């Protein structure tokens, strides 16, 4: 009898330990939309044999430790300040728990998918990419994929309105993609715009490296050039001493290519001392570099990063991932979001730029929560390695359109932008004018996803107290607040196809201006035997706060309101203000 009980107990333990005892059919929804996301329409069903590059993001077992260390190395008052993590250290902290790996691989094998045949694994093993047919993905995720058409951009993508995972895997998996994220980078590309009715001034301010520092001339009110920006931000006369000691990275998508001939025209016309300087291009996931097809966005980015920071090296990352749709295709086409491809590619490199600038963004609510959190975590990993990540704050003030929520309740609410709302990036708003004021479209507000980080508690609490009941109920008072700082954002002279045009938008050089200034301060620090600035936010909200020109006029209207007014100190229209290089050089160099 005793032996019988032992046998029963042993068998029970075997069954519990056996992968076959797992309830892979006990499913729970991971994410779903109540309706097709705005701007998209259903087109057709994809072929069941169409191949998807399915990417699975597992939970990093020590993500909390990584974030703790990120704040330690970014806090100027901490003993570990500036002791950034290596790739190997970030990979180790990014790794999933062995139980997560075992559970995910057992689930894949249950569906006939061999995890050993993954076409890509991240350095930490937290991301795995598998090439599988749509029919298999639908069975694994208890979903139906469709081909959806974006009416404005003409993009076609394969996505689902919901997906599920076995309950057991919800504690192991952050994200599976492509699934419910419908974002199109073409739709996100509204952060810069050509001013067709504005002619660039024939008296545009040209840089003279031998000229003494001076206030920007009147022409800078109508045509902004690198010389104007250097006058605005007190940089005139400074040249990098150690340019080869760092690198600036620019993220590019949508077959947007910088044109080297246009860059030389720009330099010849506006920065003659930098003639001949060029940049390198890194191709990611089928990215291209077509010199016969210059893009406004790419030329904007490159010309003003170079204009602010030459001769510090610049790398333009051209990321593919928006293939033409072929209805009967059974061949593999990349269906992943190129945004995610870019971040994972950079993290896989042994050396990375010290400063990154990206001009894209979209409303938080249009991005699934699991996607927002996963991408924000990737930015934490990137900043932990000592990089500064800059994003534009958007061009819709506190929100564009009717500002209705898409959660089924249809409430009017301010619409924060992502990735600007991620607490591990530095968001840059916009100003305008010789005496700088908030430009009306400057994005700013409070995240509905991410809690307010401690580094901005004092500054934001002070603003909210002054704001009182203004806009009450329209925003999340406890959310991560942005922008963090600002710069000029309109009437920039840019060369495209050999012709000078005027461009505006918060991606129109406010981000690139700040990227250049950060790189210049890095150069000063390197000359003084110090490390690069890395994650800026804990520093600028403490030691660096007096290095900015406080913007106290204007607001960022939207959602049928006047938005947030600029005030003394930090505000959600212009952040801490615009940079003063001479002051920052003394404070931080």
Active-site residue list: 297, 301, 507
The enclosing H or E element of 314 equals strand 314-319
Q: Which residues pair with 319 in a beta bridge?
A: 284
CB neighbours (10 Å) of residue 315? 16
Tell me the pairing of strands 362-363 and 280-284: unpaired
406: phi then psi, degrees, rounded to nearest 5: -110, 25
Contacts of 581 (CB under 8 A, 6+ apart): 233, 234, 235, 238, 517, 520, 521
CA distance 146 to 178: 11
**CA-to-CA distance for 94 and 91, rounded, in angstroms?**
5
Q: Which residues of 121-133 are buried (b: 16+ CB within 10 A; e: fewer)?
A: ebbbebbbbbebb
Cα separation, 261 vs 588, in Å, equals 36
Helix %, strand %, coil % of the chain (to 5): 30, 20, 45
Distance CA 474, CA 493 (A): 37
In eight-state DSSP terms, residue 325 is: P
CA separation for the pair 441, 561 (Å, rounded): 13
Partners of 282 in the β-ladder: 317
Closest CA to 126 of 69, 58, 213: 58
Q: Which residues are annotated as a binding site for Ca(2+)?
A: 550-551, 569, 571
Helix (H, G, I), strand (E, B), or coil: what is residue 564?
coil
How far is residue 162 from each of residues 12, 76, 395, measured CA to CA in Å?
36, 44, 30
Return binding residues.
550-551, 569, 571
Both structure tokens of 442: 């400057």
Task: Name the DSSP letter for residue 226.
Answer: H
Q: d(Cα 85, Cα 210) in Å, to the nearest integer?
A: 40
């Amino acid at each position: 009898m005793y032996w019988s009980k032992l046998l029963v107990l042993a068998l029970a333990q075997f069954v519990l330990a056996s992968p076959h005892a797992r309830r892979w059919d006990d499913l729970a929804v991971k994410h779903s939309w109540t309706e097709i996301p705005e701007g998209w329409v259903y087109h057709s069903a994809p072929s069941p044999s169409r191949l998807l590059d399915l990417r699975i993001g597992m939970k990093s077992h020590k993500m909390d430790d990584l974030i703790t260390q990120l704040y330690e190395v970014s806090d100027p008052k901490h003993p570990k300040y500036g002791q950034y993590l290596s790739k190997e250290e970030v990979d180790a902290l990014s790794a999933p728990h062995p139980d997560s790996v075992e559970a995910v691989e057992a689930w894949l094998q249950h569906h006939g998918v061999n995890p050993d045949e993954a076409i890509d694994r991240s350095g930490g093993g937290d991301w795995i990419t598998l090439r599988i047919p749509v029919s298999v993905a639908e069975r694994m995720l208890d979903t139906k994929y469709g081909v959806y058409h974006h009416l404005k951009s003409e993009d076609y993508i394969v996505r689902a309105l919901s997906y599920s995972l076995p309950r057991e895997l919800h504690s192991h998996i952050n994200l599976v993609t492509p699934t419910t994220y419908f974002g199109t980078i073409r739709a996100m590309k509204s952060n810069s715009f050509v001013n067709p009715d504005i002619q660039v001034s024939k008296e545009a301010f040209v840089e003279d490296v031998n000229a003494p520092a001076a206030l920007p001339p009147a022409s800078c009110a109508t045509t902004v050039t690198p010389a104007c920006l250097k006058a605005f931000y007190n940089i005139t006369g400074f040249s990098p001493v150690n340019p080869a000691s760092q690198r600036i990275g620019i993220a590019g998508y949508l077959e947007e290519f910088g044109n080297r001939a246009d860059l030389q025209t720009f330099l010849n016309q506006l920065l003659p001392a930098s003639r001949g300087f060029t940049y390198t291009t890194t191709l990611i996931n089928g990215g291209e570099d077509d010199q016969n097809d210059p893009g406004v966005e790419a030329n904007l980015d490159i010309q003003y990063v170079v204009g602010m920071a030459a001769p510090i090296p610049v790398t333009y990352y051209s990321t593919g991932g928006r293939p033409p749709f072929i209805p009967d295709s059974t061949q593999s086409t990349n269906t992943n979001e190129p945004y995610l491809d870019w971040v994972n590619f950079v993290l896989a490199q042994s050396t990375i730029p010290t400063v990154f600038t990206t001009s894209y963004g979209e409303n938080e609510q249009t991005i699934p929560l699991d996607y927002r959190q996963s991408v924000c975590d990737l930015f934490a990993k990137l900043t932990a390695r000592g990089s500064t990540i800059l994003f534009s704050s958007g061009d819709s003030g506190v929100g564009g359109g009717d500002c209705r929520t898409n959660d089924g309740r249809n409430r009017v609410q301010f619409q924060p932008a992502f990735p600007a709302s991620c607490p591990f990036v530095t968001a840059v708003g916009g100003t305008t004018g010789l005496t700088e004021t908030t430009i009306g479209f400057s994005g700013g507000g409070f995240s509905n996803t991410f809690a307010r980080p401690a580094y901005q508690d004092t500054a934001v609490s002070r603003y909210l107290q002054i704001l009182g009941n203004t806009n009450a109920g329209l925003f999340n008072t406890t959310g991560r607040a942005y922008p963090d700082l600002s710069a000029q954002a309109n009437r920039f002279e840019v060369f495209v196809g050999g012709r000078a045009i005027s461009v505006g938008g918060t991606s129109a050089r406010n981000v690139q201006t700040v990227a250049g200034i950060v790189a210049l301060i890095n150069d000063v620090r390197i000359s003084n035997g110090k490390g690069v600035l890395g994650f800026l936010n804990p520093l600028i909200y403490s030691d660096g706060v007096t290095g900015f020109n406080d913007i106290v006029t204007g607001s960022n209207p939207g959602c049928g309101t006047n938005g947030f007014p600029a005030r003394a100190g930090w505000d959600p229209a212009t952040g801490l203000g615009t940079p003063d290089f001479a002051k920052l050089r003394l404070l931080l160099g």
